[in-house]
Amino acid sequence: MDITDDELLAYLDEQLPAERATHIERELRSSPVLRQQAAILIHRRDQGGHTVGEIWRRQRLSCLSRSQLGGYLLGTATDELSDYVEFHLRTVGCRLCEANLQDLRESRGPTPDSTRRRRKFFESSAGNLAPSR
Ligand SMILES: [Zn+2]
């Protein structure tokens, strides 16, 4: 691990050169340890009155694509990606991705539960509408 707390903080503050930020970005996605480290730093900074989370919410680099979010919803994402999605949504609190996820959830159509309910409803109304013999 070649990323120090100082560097991570600079990343959080968007003060790193793009190349280095991209590197850290990649490390964050693949390393649970680094995410933990970042979460602690964010927590500490937030307590100190600095809202790093706010900066992160503007940090589009760390955002997820819709296909990644879709994979997460469907449960086809790797464990690694799922962890990152949860980190991104819960620790970072990204409203943009939260909104995207919500949107995907709705456009995915009915959940198995509501399909079952609808079918039941349909069957019972079809029964009511059927001509009696
Ligand atoms: Zn995001």
Q: What is the mean pLDDT of the chain?
A: 77
Q: How many CB atoms lie within 10 A of CB 14?
A: 13
Between CA 109 and CA 130 the distance in angstroms is: 28
Per residue in 90-111, pLDDT (tens digit) is 877 788 888 899 989 888 665 5
Percent of the chain with pLDDT over 70: 66
Distance in Å, CA 49 to ligand 1 centroid: 22
Global pTM reads 0.43
pLDDT category of residue 75 using cuts at 50, 70 and 90: very high
Average pLDDT of 30-48? 81
- Please give the pLDDT value at position 71: 93
- Give the total number of structural domains in the chain: 1
Distance in Å, CA 113 to ligand 1 centroid: 29
Range of the domain at 120: 5-129
